[in-house]
Chain A
C-alpha cells in the first residue's frame, strides 16, 4: 500500500472527471445499508397495504357501497381508497425517510458527520438521500399497486399511472421532513410532527372520503395542505374518467405545481439546514 500516492492515480483508479457524482455515491452506500434491512422492508411494504386495503377497502368499503356511497363516488370504495392510499402511504414513507434516518445521521449514528470527512458535501448527501427515496418509494409503491391489484381494487394500467404522482408526493414530503429534522435538536419534534401534522393529513386530506364531506372552513384548510394535492393528483391519474366529488375540480397542473414548489422549497431548506449543521 503506497499511502502517499494521490487518490485517483492509484492502481486502476480513473481520473477525477470520470468519477461518479458524489450524490450517486451516497445512493450506492444507502443500498449497501439496505441489503441488511430488506426483510423488514418487504414486510412493511406488503403488510401495510394489505392491512389498510383489507380493513378500509373491503371491511369499511362493503358498508359504504351498500349505503349508497358508491353512487356518490361513482367507483367502488375500495378503488377510491386504494388510489388515495397510494399518495398517503408515499407521504408516510417520505416523512419517515426524512425524519428518523436524518436524526440518526446527525445525532445518533452520526454517519453524516463521517461522510463529511470525504468529498461528499451536504448538498450531495441530500441529493443522494432523495435519490435513494426515489428508489425506495418506487419499490414501496409497486408493492402497494400489486397488493391493490390482488384485492381487485385497481387495474394494472391505472395502478401504474398512480405511481408517479404518489412518488412526487413522497419525495416532496421527504425533502421538507429532512429540512425540519435538520433544524431540530432532539426527536421530540419528530414525534410531534407525526402526531400533529402527518396523522391529521392522513385522515383529512381526501384519502378516505372526498373533502366535500368536510365543513366549509375545513375544506379550505384541506385544500391548503400538501397531501390533498398528492391524493387528488394521484386519483385523477388512476381514475381518468372520474368527476367531482370523487376527484377535485381543480386542473391537474395546480396539484403538480403545488407539489413541485413544495419539493423545491423543501430541498432548498434541507440543504441550508444540513449545511448549517454539518459545516459549523
Chain B
C-alpha cells in the first residue's frame, strides 16, 4: 500500500505579517482526486506551492509521497507533475521541444523522452501541432500541453492550480476528460479551483478554504447533504415586494423548507422538494414574479460557508 500522497498537520505559510495558510490539516490518499476550493486569496496556491516543494513551510508538518519536502525536495519533484495557474510554456519553442526540454530537466535519457513525447502528444490531442511553435496554439491547446509536459516524468502525484481558468466550455470539457483518464490510471490528482462544477466533476474529496483555513471537508455529495438541501428554489417577487414577501415566506415555516437565504433581489429556499414548496407558496398567495428550481450545487455550499460579499 502506497503512503498517502500528502499529509499536512498544522501546515502554515506566512509572508511577513500575512498568514496565507493558517494551520491546515489535510490527508490525500494515493490515487485520490482531491480539490482545494476557495475564493481568490484563500490560500490555495500557497498551499500548493508548499506541496510542490518550491515554498518553504513556515510552521507545521508536511510530507509529500512519504518524504520531507525540506530534505528530499529533488526526489519529490522527480515524482511530481505541476500544472501552474498560468501557463509557463516556452513560447519560442515548438510543442515537441517544450516536452523534450522538460524531459531533460528531469534527467531522462533522450530515447525515453522521444518515446514518451509520442504518447503525450496523443494524450493531449496535439499530434498535428507537434512541430508548431507554442505561441500559435489556442488557450485550450496550451493548457493541454502544460498538462502533457507535467506528465513527462510519469509522476505519481499531479498538482493542478486552477486548471481550467480562462478556458471556453469546450476546452474545459476536453480537459476534464483528460483528467478523468489520468485518474483512471491511478494517478493522484490534487487540484485547486474556484469553479464549483469543476470540483463536482472531478473530485473524490475536497476541502473548502477561506482566509487560509479549512472550513469544510468531504465528498461533494456529503458537503451538499451536510450544508444545504438536495434541491433549491429561487424566487423573485420584484424589487418593491421582495423584502416583505420573503419575510412572509420565512414566516410560513413550510415543513419541507430547511432554510431561506434572503437577498435584495431574490430569496434562495433550501428545500427537500422545490416543486412542492412552489405550490405551497401559491396556496398561501405568494406567487413569485419569477422562479427557478434546481439541484443544489457545491456553489450553494460554498456561498453559505464563505458568505456572498466580495472578498477583495
A8 partner residues in chain B, CB cutoff 8 A: 78, 107
Given contacts A4-B156, A11-B112, contact A118 B187 (CB under 8 A): no
A26 and B105 contact, CB distance less than 8 A: yes
A109's contact among B54, B88, B106, by CB below 8 Å, is which? B88
Given contacts A117-B82, A118-B105, contact A10 B154 (CB under 8 A): yes
Whether A195 is near chain B, meaning CB under 8 Å from some CB there, is no
A2 to B75, CA, bound (A): 19
* Nearest neighbor of B100 in chain A, beta-carbon distance: A32
A7 to B73, CA, bound (A): 15
Interface string of B65-106 (1 = CB under 8 A from A): 000000001110111111010101111110001001110111
A43 to B267, CA, bound (A): 70
* Nearest neighbor of B90 in chain A, beta-carbon distance: A111
Given contacts A33-B92, A113-B88, A118-B78, contact A20 B107 (CB under 8 A): yes
A25 partner residues in chain B, CB cutoff 8 A: 104-107
B109 and A13 contact, CB distance less than 8 A: yes
| Chain A binding surface SS class | loop
Interface string of A95-125 (1 = CB under 8 A from B): 0000000000000011101111111110000
B79 and A14 contact, CB distance less than 8 A: no
Q: How far is the CB of A75 from chain B (nearest CB, A)?
A: 43
B88 and A111 contact, CB distance less than 8 A: yes
A11 to B151, CA, bound (A): 15
Q: How far is the CB of B134 from chain A (nearest CB, A)?
A: 10
Q: A37-B92, A120-B105, A121-B74 are in contact. List 4 more A-B contacts (CB 8 A).
A: A3-B182, A7-B153, A111-B90, A118-B106
Q: How many residues of B are counted as interface, with CB atoms below 8 angstroms from the partner's CB atoms?
A: 51
Given contacts A1-B119, A109-B90, A110-B88, contact A28 B187 (CB under 8 A): no
B79 partner residues in chain A, CB cutoff 8 A: 6-7
Q: How many residues of A are counted as interface, with CB atoms below 8 angstroms from the partner's CB atoms?
A: 40
A8 to B111, CA, bound (A): 13
A2 and B102 contact, CB distance less than 8 A: no
A14 and B109 contact, CB distance less than 8 A: yes
A132 to B116, CA, bound (A): 27
Whether B52 is near chain A, meaning CB under 8 Å from some CB there, is yes
A31 to B149, CA, bound (A): 19
A28 partner residues in chain B, CB cutoff 8 A: 104
B91 partner residues in chain A, CB cutoff 8 A: 109
- Which 3 residue pairs are nearest across A and B when measured between Cβ atoms? A117-B82, A118-B105, A19-B107
B118-132 contacts to A (CB < 8 Å): 119-120, 123
